[in-house]
Amino acid sequence: MTDSAAVSDPTAAKRAARHQPAPTTSGGGTERLYFRQLLAGREFSVGDPVARQMMNFVYLLGDRQTGEAVIVDPAYGVDDLVDLLEADGMRCVGALVTHYHPDHVGGDLMGTPIEGITRLLDRVAVPIHVQADEAPWVERVTGVGAGDLTRHGGGDVVQVGEVPVTLVHTPGHTPGSQCFLSTDGWCRETRCSSTAVGGPTFRGATRRPCTSR
Ligand SMILES: [Zn+2]
């Protein structure tokens, strides 16, 4: 159940360690993609021994110009995460769920209650984006209603401001596990791929050859 996410981009790891949003400006372009990687129990929800032991990463992803952002897998310290967004001048407009396990969405984690998306919905009324196959499990584990979840198929795109996030269905760790792919339109992308245990791996502001324009 524990998912470890490895940062394959050492520069991004250093930025995360400094609690700094990843810069996305290049070639005189305007900063648009907002991206932060945060380690539960160390960079937020500090002092929570379960969060510290589980070592889950959470990602904040958004559009700097519109101030809209989503939280990937809010489980521990949800108020900390929303506060971090607001301190950056951003506002939470949704959550993206990789999969239903309590260390990613909240619920009962071996007898320990994790607040998760239930707390997020108490604080902000936002859509919770899940793969359709995962929705019944998210409902069962967290107790949220079916109407709280926005169901998706693989390849769907969630628009966060002007930043598109493609939902990639990656069954394996669970039937409805998903990863996320985002680009800010300047041939930079933030990639998330499933590890052997299904956890997300983001590589922030990574360049790739431009084939779309
Ligand atoms: Zn898991």
Count CB-CB contacts under 10 A for residue 118: 18
Over the stretch 30-47, which tens digit does the pLDDT of each residue have?
Answer: 578 999 999 999 999 999
Report how far ligand 1's centroid is from the alpha carbon of 90 (Å): 28
For the chain, the DSSP string reads: ---------HHHHHHHHTT-PPP---TTPPP-EEEEEEEBTTTBSTT-HHHHHH--EEEEEEETTTTEEEEES--S-HHHHHHHHHHTT-EEEEEE-S---HHHH-EEETTEEE-HHHHHHHH----EEEEGGGHHHHHHHH---GGGEEEE-TT-EEEETTEEEEEEE--SSSTT-EEEEEE-SSSEEEEEEE-TTS-EEEEEEEE------
Report how far ligand 1's centroid is from the alpha carbon of 21 (Å): 26
Mean pLDDT in residue range 161-182? 93
Report how far ligand 1's centroid is from the alpha carbon of 47 (Å): 22
Tell me which range, 5-14, 15-24, 59-68, is most confidently predicted by mean pLDDT.
Answer: 59-68
Domains of the chain, residue spans:
10-23+30-206
Q: 184: pLDDT confidence band, cut at 50, 70 and 90? A: low
Radius of gyration of the chain (CA): 16
Report how far ligand 1's centroid is from the alpha carbon of 167 (Å): 17
Residue 32: what are its φ and ψ, rounded to 5°? -135, -50
Kindly give the pairing relationship between strand 107-109 and strand 91-96: unpaired
CA quadruple 55, 200, 163, 183: dihedral, nearest 10? 130
Lowest mean pLDDT among 24-28, 51-55, 152-156, 164-168: 24-28
Report how far ligand 1's centroid is from the alpha carbon of 1 (Å): 4
Output the pLDDT for position 31.
75
Q: Give the closest residue to 58 by CA, choosing from 186, 195, 202.
A: 202
Residue whose token pair is 């400094």: 18
Report how far ligand 1's centroid is from the alpha carbon of 149 (Å): 19
Mean pLDDT of the chain: 80
pTM, 2 dp: 0.77
Residue 3 near residue 104 (C-beta atoms within 8 A): yes
Report how far ligand 1's centroid is from the alpha carbon of 187 (Å): 31
CB-proximal residues (5 Å) to ion ligand 1: 1, 3, 101
Q: 191: pLDDT confidence band, cut at 50, 70 and 90? A: very low
Choice between 99 and 194, residue whose per-residue pLDDT is larger: 99
Report how far ligand 1's centroid is from the alpha carbon of 177 (Å): 9
- Considering the domain 10-23+30-206 in this protein, what is its CATH number? 3.60.15.10
208 Cβ contact list (under 8 Å, min separation 6): 187, 188, 189
Over the stretch 67-119, which tens digit does the pLDDT of each residue have?
Answer: 999 999 999 999 999 999 999 999 999 999 999 999 999 999 999 999 999 99
Mean pLDDT in residue range 147-155? 97
Q: Give the closest residue to 55 by CA, choosing from 14, 10, 104, 90.
A: 104
